[in-house]
Amino acid sequence: MLETAGTPYPAPTDAPGTRHGSLHGRPARTYLMCPPTYFTVGYSINPWMDPRVPVDTARAVRQWEQLRQTYRLLGHTIHLIDPVPGLPDMVFAANGGTVIGGRVLGARFLHAERAAEADAYLSWFRANRYRSVREPLVINEGEGDLMCAGRAVLAGHGFRSDLAARDDIEELFGLPVVSVRLVDPRFYHLDTALCVIDANTAAYYPGAFDDAGRAAVAAQFSDLIEATEQEAAMLGLNAVSDGHHVVLAAEAAVLAAELAVRGFEPVAVDMSEFRKAGGGPKCCTLELRP
């Protein structure tokens, strides 16, 4: 659904603590998001999750709404998928699939706790008449591990997605796949350790990758920003770039400064409740590439 239909959330207003600007001639993006109606941490499937630490769902809703408003104020289009009771991690829409050129590769989750999310997202794509919707043959956790870098798709593996997912990606999207191994369990998805800023620029935490992975990332980008371990551990790299604005965690001040020096515009948001489940702005955002 479009975000104005069937949602209890109010119309957007300026979100405090954010900076906004024009799209600088770049096309607007289209994102899919899922309201955090049922978000909580009731199980543990990554090092961030501790069911003993309470989640303030009302605060999570406010943070998510700020993120949604931020995208709208930057000129982007938001679509919503209805949350499903019993699927608290469905708010992390990035894991729901990968969309490139209007084609959709669905997700298949490693953990049983999230398995039903795959069908919910596939149903949304089919209901919205995407021309090619493919169910994956092996485990891939959507844009959590599959990252479009323009000329290629970076595919993370080591904790969640299967190395063999590259076959699905190459066949469906017709793009070369660059596989990179993640080696630090804190950075269990590629989108926790790397953010594509534009076709030539990325930010990443080198310690999340093995030697071959670091070399592969370096070969893809002419400008690489190395995040500190401290900011990576605050999920500062779990960010969303439209090629000029970079929406990122408010705590990532050093990374924000590095981006600003290069002419990008950092836009800070508070996603602290979602960090309790290992998520940030990117985790909550699935790009629908036409």
Separation of alpha carbons 67 and 15, rounded Å: 8
Task: Estimate to the nearest angstrom the gap between the alpha carbon of 236 and the chain centroid.
Answer: 12
Tokens, residue 24? 């600088």
Instruction: Name the β-bridge partners of 245.
Output: 265
Rounded to 5 degrees, φ, ψ at 105 are -105, 115
Rounded to 5 degrees, φ, ψ at 151 are -85, -15
Exposed e or buried b per residue across 47-76, where buried means at least 16 C-beta atoms within 10 angstroms of its C-beta? ebbeeeeebeeeebbbbbbbbbbbbbbbbb
Task: Please list, in sequence order, all residues whose beta carbon lies within 8 angstroms of the beta carbon of residue 245, skipping any fewer than 6 positions away.
Answer: 20, 21, 74, 264, 265, 266, 267
Tokens, residue 44? 């543990």
Task: Say which of 148, 189, 195, 284 is annotated catalytic.
Answer: 189
Q: What 3-state class would DSSP assign to 44?
A: coil
Instruction: Name the β-bridge partners of 225.
Output: 203
Residue 189 is among the residues annotated as catalytic for this protein: yes
Spatial CA neighbour of 114 closest among 137, 87, 143, 145: 87
Task: Say which of 148, 195, 283, 284 is annotated catalytic.
Answer: 283
Spatial CA neighbour of 188 closest among 135, 155, 230, 144: 144
User: Which residues participate in catalysis according to the annotation?
Assistant: 189, 283
